[in-house]
Amino acid sequence: MADEDPVFETTTGPVRVITAASLFDGHDAAINVMRRLIQSSGAEVIHLGHDQSAKAVVDCAVQEDAHAVALTSYQGGHVEYFTYIRQLLDEAGCEHVRIFGGGGGTITPPEIRTLHQSGISKIYSPDDGRTMGLMGMIHHLMGLASEVNLVGDARLASIDGPVTPDDMAKVGLLMTLSESADDATFKAAVDKARSSDKEVPVIGFTGTGGAGKSSLLDELMLRIQRDNPGKKVCLLCVDPTRKRTGGALLGDRIRMNSLSNNDLFMRSLASRGSGSEISANLDRAIEVAKAVGFDMIFCETSGIGQGSDAITSVADHSLYVMTAEFGAHTQLEKIEMLDVADVVVLNKYEKRGSEDALRAIRKQVRRNRNLFDIEDEALPVVATIASQFADGGVDRLWCKLSDIVGFEASEPVDEMGARKGVIPPERIYYLSEIAATVREYHAGHEAVAQQLRLCQHLETAAKHATERGAKAIAADLQAQIDEILESLEDARKDLAEFRSLAEQYSTGEFTYHVRGKPFTVKTTTESLAHSDIPRVALPTFADDGELFSFIKKENAPGHFPFTAGVFPFKRTDELSARMFAGEGEAERTNRRFHYLSQGQDYVR
């Protein structure tokens, strides 16, 4: 960091900022740039990714006890989204959390004023970008966020009795004290908040960087919730602090899809110069989780090397997660965790070379622990594919872990390491089946169109022969026509109905029915030059084959195959209004709908 760059510190250490893109918003390029700059300014950034609901953002801010939330919104529902987050934070007792946002030109100046009046700390506009500059906006955000005092007297006074896992804001505050308070203050707070003295298993989750620890942990959480509903689980996930800037990317939450269940509590911790894969205060965070009554505690470390085993100093049991990319088999002899881990997990088993790697790991574990007289399946080695839905390997891992900690576990259904595609094998060619069906549809109707064209030409020839007095030729042609017409009854009916429809359109009015209700509409519109212009322009093909092809490929609006639309005409007697829905309970959306619909003639 350059010498002239400001340093932002708070009463509890680095600024903690939640970053995300709003619900229904897939535009994450801007928030990715901003969160990198916020991190480079010394903040601990908890990144959630894109398409995040207000509840997900607020739950994260409460559990992480953040100073600020920084969001981007380009989907048009920003006023509702930001104000709802403010409301939920206030209801959770987190009025101190600052909210920052941006959306380029999507958020207009009047809307920015409305949001500022609603308690949003700052919405950055394109004008702010021009006047303040990119780093100016980042420093402005960091300056306002650093003013928040997470351990003020009023907040500390809120811990006035036993705290349970359901008191997320208080648990979050206790976690903050575990990272920043002196021993006396921390001990006093924990003693006051203690609601449980039961023994709680602490599971250490460690492994190489990029091995899929967070994804695997997420899959385990889904199985814990399925087999042990109501059990409270605390997740403590450590990521490294960058020495150059003092900032950290705490990105494990982006993989944790199971956190929508409030039986799970997750706290992201930065190593903060501990010189290890765990935080220097991880033991105090574990003490908090035990004191408030969680039923199980998971501690996930940052990526480790061959000789690292710091997790064993704080965990009762440990899992070591690795992949097949460990190099030569002799490298396995150097990995300390193969000696001490309760379970060794070979993740990403779908990758090439994983079967050989599994055999090598099993051999090394046998040698390390002198387990030469048991079957492979009984070894504490499991192969998993965490990215695969309902993976049998993860099921077996949970069975082994549940036996260790005394939780319930369902029997695995699939085999360990069984590779399953997103599409079942019997349906793997469904797209080609759809394409083949469509091709057959068009080919069949093209053949009918050729027959119609031939029949029309024969009728013209027969008429001409009759006029010339060639009765024998005319009779032969008529016989051919009669033979062809036997297979064209439905096609001729379609042509007659279409021509009748075209004639109705030409009268200037047309009546159609929707759910039995008649709607009469004008089929023309008047131009500025007072000319009648058809609202629907139908073809005037003289060739029956061409017309039949049009009917089967496009047809008029409101008719099969509905290429031109489901309804015959666009409604002109009501105003369609695009509304932002999906945030909060249904009653909230319904109230907003009624408010926006006031005075409209038609409401659907």
Label each residue of 208-247 as H, E or C.
CCCCCHHHHHHHHHHHHHHHCCCCCEEEEEEECCCCCCCC
The distance of Cα 29 from the centroid of its chain, to the nearest Å, equals 16
In this structure, is residue 517 part of a structural domain?
A: no
Cβ-contact 536, 509 below 8 angstroms? no
Residue 571 above 80 pLDDT?
no
Residues 121 and 237 in one domain: no
In this structure, is residue 118 part of a structural domain?
A: yes
- Per-residue pLDDT band at 589 (split at 50, 70, 90): confident
Residue 260 above 70 pLDDT?
yes
Residues 77 and 194 in one domain: no
CA distance 77 to 19: 18
User: Considering 422, 448, 479, which residue would you say is the last residue of a domain?
Assistant: 422
The distance of Cα 75 from the centroid of its chain, to the nearest Å, equals 15
Residue 585 above 80 pLDDT?
no
Tokens found for residue 410: 């369902």
The distance of Cα 328 from the centroid of its chain, to the nearest Å, equals 38
CATH of the domain at 62: 3.40.50.280
Residues 257 and 371 in one domain: yes
The distance of Cα 121 from the centroid of its chain, to the nearest Å, equals 27
In this structure, is residue 527 part of a structural domain?
A: no
The pLDDT, as a whole number, for residue 547 is 92
Residues 135 and 190 in one domain: no
Q: What's the domain count of the chain?
A: 2
Residue 82: give the domain boundaries.
16-150
Q: Supply the mean pLDDT for the chain.
A: 90
In this structure, is residue 497 part of a structural domain?
A: no
| pLDDT digits 0-9 by tens, 366-406 | 999 999 999 998 999 999 999 988 899 999 999 999 999 99
DSSP 427-471: GTTHHHHHHHHHHHHHHHHHHHHHHHHHHHHHHHHHHHHHHTT-H
In this structure, is residue 368 part of a structural domain?
A: yes
Residue 603 above 70 pLDDT?
no
Residues 336 and 368 in one domain: yes
User: Considering 390, 422, 454, which residue would you say is the last residue of a domain?
Assistant: 422
The pLDDT, as a whole number, for residue 2 is 47
| pLDDT digits 0-9 by tens, 273-285 | 888 899 999 999 9
Residue 604 above 80 pLDDT?
no
The pLDDT, as a whole number, for residue 579 is 58
- Per-residue pLDDT band at 6 (split at 50, 70, 90): confident
In this structure, is residue 488 part of a structural domain?
A: no
Residue 141 above 90 pLDDT?
yes
In this structure, is residue 548 part of a structural domain?
A: no
The pLDDT, as a whole number, for residue 568 is 83
Higher pLDDT, 69 or 515: 69
The pLDDT, as a whole number, for residue 1 is 44
Residues 166 and 60 in one domain: no
Task: Tell me the pairing of strands 16-21 and 44-47.
Answer: parallel
Please compute the mean of the pLDDT values over residues 415-444 and round it to a whole number.
Answer: 83
CATH of the domain at 238: 3.40.50.300
User: Considering 127, 150, 173, which residue would you say is the last residue of a domain?
Assistant: 150
In this structure, is residue 492 part of a structural domain?
A: no
